[in-house]
Amino acid sequence: MDWKTTVAIVTGASTGIGRETALFLARRGATVIGIARTQETSRASARLPTVFRPLRRASADVTDTAAITTTLQRLEDRYGRVDLLVNNAGTGVYKSALRTSAVEFEAILRTNFLGAVACTLAVLPGMVRRRAGHIVNVSSPSAFAPPPGQTAYAASKAALDASRSHCSSRSGAGVRVSIVYQGT
């Protein structure tokens, strides 16, 4: 992959894995747009080192399907394409299933699974049209070996793993899908 011509979008880019991924890609010369949930976290990502190629930022909440879709389509129009999407935005509540409310389950699934699906569906048509692109879903070993106290988180990551099938049929169209199991 020629990083200097790559347009990459990383969700959850203001901290942790997302921040490090954005920096890794920028160091290699990619045009990187970091997506953060709020203006405040977006401003935090703006303080990322820009000694290589400037990192761009955008604010959108992956749980707001209309907003994230509009944002990603706007970015694709602005940069001409999206070559790489890293679905990294995530959240978790770490307590037993009996102490986790349905509202908490829904919030985790909305961020970790449905947010990634919304982002993928926003950029997938352009990737298929160009017959090129790579989607990376950041998952967790919890998806296949859920530890105690991570029921909702593990379920969301297992769903994310299963969602690979909605893109895998696109592999013949030049679109690659990868899952990264952080922490392994």
C-beta atoms surrounding 72 within 10 Å: 26
Measured CA to CA, the distance from residue 66 to residue 43 in angstroms comes to: 22
Measured CA to CA, the distance from residue 110 to residue 160 in angstroms comes to: 11
| Residue from 79, 94, 153, 181 carrying the catalytic annotation | 153
Measured CA to CA, the distance from residue 81 to residue 50 in angstroms comes to: 22
Q: Quick one: which H or E segment has residue 181?
A: strand 175-181
- Residue 181 bears catalytic tag: no
C-beta atoms surrounding 171 within 10 Å: 10
Residues taking part in catalysis: 153
